[in-house]
Structure 1
């Protein structure tokens, strides 16, 4: 690792975010602290507070990386039908829950300290995911209102998320040991047929 004075602010930010991701992957979110992040990269906690506002800021920045990776993988192919895009998005989502469980969970389990508001820049990151789902839903039923599309996208993705949670925690046995992909296929087929007015 380079000497401390050789790291720019941006480089230090990158090192710290990767340290958060590594520490959470190794030990879980509950054991994360600014001090442990600083120790991992050879800095003092005080130095990190010159780059990040607090632990919440560090976690949100790391979560933003996870969301960007998820969005990139979910939208890798856009030359397919809306149904195929939704199918790919759902499979990628569940796969990340399986393969990067700790980081995936950090996006949903982290709560801001002292009831602080989630910053607008981060809300825009999460909105970008839903906008992809909404675009596909709109293409399948063009007569639906914006409010109906908004609701349907979140209803569908809430169901996908439920399957992902069961997969991540290896709790699919409580659903009768059904394959997660079969569950996704059934969910997407029946919900989207209903949404598109098909039988």
Structure 2
């Protein structure tokens, strides 16, 4: 049974998000329901719909928060004078963050946008900021490449890393597992940098 509200709308919003994250981390996306969220926070299920449009809205908000945390994590990856090592460090940091948060990471795979729903602007912003970090690390390796080309390279490289994290995070891979994901990321990085330098040498 619900209780009389003793929290502000913003406090309730965060309570709902915290409870939702806990549920997803424990039981995956299939365990999430308005009733279970309400049970955890001590309010009626209808309270959720006073704050969020629906469960999809909750899940999208969790994904935005997760990408924001990813960006902050990547900003803290230490970079040095060795350009190749910088790319390796960024790749390692990204895969490490995904695997530490693998249950939440699966949200990007398990949750599909309902028809007519747009990707939140903030999610685009976080993703673009992440690509800025990667592009900045690639620029010293390919200094003569135009920005558009560097952007495409950064996104292609990150798409490969996302493929690795997607398979590893589900824990359903045969060879690509949480235990082997970093070795695959390192191999991808090595091949990517080799191809990048080879292309630059032939210009």
TM-score of the superposition, structure 1-length normalised? 0.83
Name structure 1 gaps, 5 residues minimum.
none
* Residue 93 of structure 1, CA deviation: 2.3
Cα separation, 2, equivalents of 1:144 and 1:20: 44
Superposed, which structure 2 residues align to 1:66-105 within 5 Å? 66-81=66-81, 82-105=83-106
* Residue 152 of structure 1, CA deviation: 0.9
1:67 match: secondary structure: helix
Superposed, which structure 2 residues align to 1:44-83 within 5 Å? 44-81=44-81, 82-83=83-84
Any conservation in 1 of the 2:135–2:154 contact (CA below 8 Å)? Answer: yes
CA-atom RMSD in angstroms? 2.6
1:25 match: secondary structure: helix
Name structure 2 gaps, 5 residues minimum.
none
- 3-12 or 151-160, which deviates more: 3-12
- 12-21 or 40-49, which deviates more: 40-49
Cα separation, 2, equivalents of 1:171 and 1:112: 23
Cα separation, 1, equivalents of 2:71 and 2:194: 25
Count how many residue pairs are aligned between Structure 1 and Structure 2: 196
C-alpha distance 147-40 of structure 1, shift in aligned 2 (>3 A) = same
In the alignment, structure 1 residue 134 sits paired with structure 2 residue 135: yes
Equivalent position of 2:190 in the other structure: 189
In the alignment, structure 1 residue 148 sits paired with structure 2 residue 146: no
TM-score of the superposition, structure 2-length normalised? 0.82
